[in-house]
Structure 1
Amino acid sequence: MHWEWKNCPTGWQGSFSGKSRKSTIVLEAVADFDTWIWHAFFGIPGTQNDITVLGRSPLFDALTEGQSPQLDYHINNHRYNMGYYLANGIYPKWATLVQAIRRPQNEAEAYFTTKQEAFRKDVERAFGVLQNMIVEDERADYYNGESDDDESDPNRSRRARARILDEARENLERDPRSGRITMSEYMSRYRMIRSPVGNRHLQDDLVQHLWSLRGQAP
């Protein structure tokens, strides 16, 4: 969600202005049915979109580093060990994200898409609650964050990813007895999270499982 930044400094407006031509700050959030917000990533430039925000977000850092809670569950008789989030169609096909099916081919897929879109509205409702809670801060120095000098640099995200991997390599190549994962394990998790094949298998299993709970054969 894009939040308008009315008092954005003139020197930063180019970096924080997206297609609306207004200075905005992006909020990424994960919320459930009772509007409980489990994750929030706030403050990056409004020129970002859903895809580039995800690339900079710490949402899956703990999972990649092996520090997230261990999961072990079955869907449609297949075993899974990573959680997943419901997302809209603009997000990439990752094993940790499940989108609605744009063009359902059968009743099971149509039923799944109807349910998925209904549950995904929980996030939209959470954003609506946040909007109603906004209290404008009139202090001239209300923004305490730091801004990168050149957000418009097209190579910035590439350098950022390289820096993250370099830091991970330094931190993770250590004695396995330390309880930390190695760099090879880190990269394996990184690829597993972003697997399009994993996304397809998970979605297929969810479609079949949800349809079976409806009491009809797929």
Structure 2
Amino acid sequence: MGETTARKCLAKFCEGVIKQYEAEYLRSLTDEDLRKILYRNEHRGFPGMIGSIDCMHWEWKKCPNAWKGQYCGRNKNATLILEAVADEDLWIWHSFFGIPGSCNDLNVLYRSSVFNDVLQGRAPPVKFTVNGHEYNLAYYLTDGIYPNWATFVQGFTHPQTPKKKLFADRKAGARKNVERAFGVLQARFAIIRQPALAYDEDILADIIKTCIIIHNMIVQDERDTYKNADVIRRYYEKDVASKNPRRRHQASTSATVNDDEPFQFQTGRPININNYLEKRDALRDRRTHQSLKDDLIEHIWQKFGDNNP
């Protein structure tokens, strides 16, 4: 097969996969998805945590010379950035691709759509309790470059106390979910492990999207065979039944989806600008960030510290 024909076939294949499977395998979190993620993460010591977020660079070998300057980062090679959020099963439920490699993770965040559902009122409202204090915004585990917002929790570079050291170790283990997802994604698909050879940025975006869709297909097919999958499922179903037999999807954990506040996923609903600004301020509240981090440190020490069996 000729090179041009092969590239056209690849483009058609990506187009077909996206058209057929994007709605299912690149969907936003549903009510049921969110409940299971909250349940699993609470048992790992992080109530209210819905995933870890990070960025991956994909080298763009065929980047046009006229654009190369804006796509080159510190390594002097043109790259495109993929931002993703992954859970413990390595399911990638948020992806944002196409930002020039000269940007860092923080610049990507400001352009990303990761908080759109929350800001526009389409995300299920979440409430959870940590160390006796109640919070109403789910959060992500991140590295140190991300800002001190209420929706981000970072670790410590040089923890000085046993409590902070334990927290840093537990947080590092949980945050590796997204790094593992990137590694598995590249291991499965040589096309994104090697430098990109396409000239069109839209084609590269379709390739990334197709790879993530197929990756999520594999995760869905294999997640029941993962280590401790049966144990987690049994405890989840047991807690569901013990809490309320009529609510089969409500787990008895301190982190829950608030059923008293209805939510909708319709994208065409008009946005109330005042509510939007209030939610934006709440997302970026530094005082809530510090309070949450302190409570998580104490919570993890009480749950996994040396004074506990």
State the TM-score, normalized to the length of structure 1: 0.78
From 202, 208, 216, the equivalent of 2:292 is 202
Q: Against the structure 1 CA distance between its residues 12 and 179, is the aligned structure 2 distance closer, same or farther, given a 3 Å change threshold? A: closer
Show the 5 A alignment for 1:86-105. Answer: 86-105=141-160
Shift of 1:211: 1.0
Give the one of 122, 127, 132 matched to 2:177.
Answer: 122
Candidates 68, 80, 86, aligned match of 1:25: 80
Structure 1 unaligned regions, length at least 5: 147-177
Q: 2-side partners of 1:9 and 1:91: how far apart?
A: 31
Report the count of equivalent residues. Answer: 186
**3-state SS, counterpart of residue 79 of structure 1:** strand
Relative distance call for 1:66 and 1:212 in structure 2 (3 A) is same
Q: What amino acid is the match of 2:302?
A: S
Alignment equivalent of 1:62, drawn from 117, 123, 129? 117
1:198 alignment partner AA = T
- Distance in structure 2 (CA, Å) of the matches to 1:50 and 1:98: 15
C-alpha displacement at 1:81, in angstroms? 1.1
Distance in 2 (alpha carbons) for counterparts of 1:12 and 1:134: 26
The structural deviation recorded for 1:203 is: 0.5
RMSD: 2.3
Residues 182 and 46 (structure 1), Cα distance of their counterparts in 2 relative to 1, 3 Å cut: same
Q: Which runs of 5+ in 2 are unaligned?
A: 1-55, 206-267
How far apart are the structure 2 equivalents of 1:140 and 1:188? 42
Change (3 A) 1:43 1:140: closer
* Aligned counterparts of 2:199 and 2:274: Cα–Cα separation in 1: 47
Report Cα offsets for 1:5-37 as digits up to 9, x if no partner.
111122221111111111100011111222111
Measure how far apart 1:101 and its partner are: 2.1
Change (3 A) 1:9 1:74: same
Residues 116 and 20 of structure 1, relative CA distance in 2, 3 Å threshold: same
Matched-pair identity in %: 42
Q: Does 1:3 align with 2:93?
A: no
Q: Distance in 2 between matches of 1:93 and 1:115?
A: 19
Structure with the largest fraction of helix: 2
Query: Normalization by structure 2: what TM-score?
Result: 0.56
* Structure 1 residue 180 displacement after superposition: 5.1
User: Which of 121, 130, 134 is the equivalent residue of 1:79?
Assistant: 134
Counterpart residue number, 1:154: none
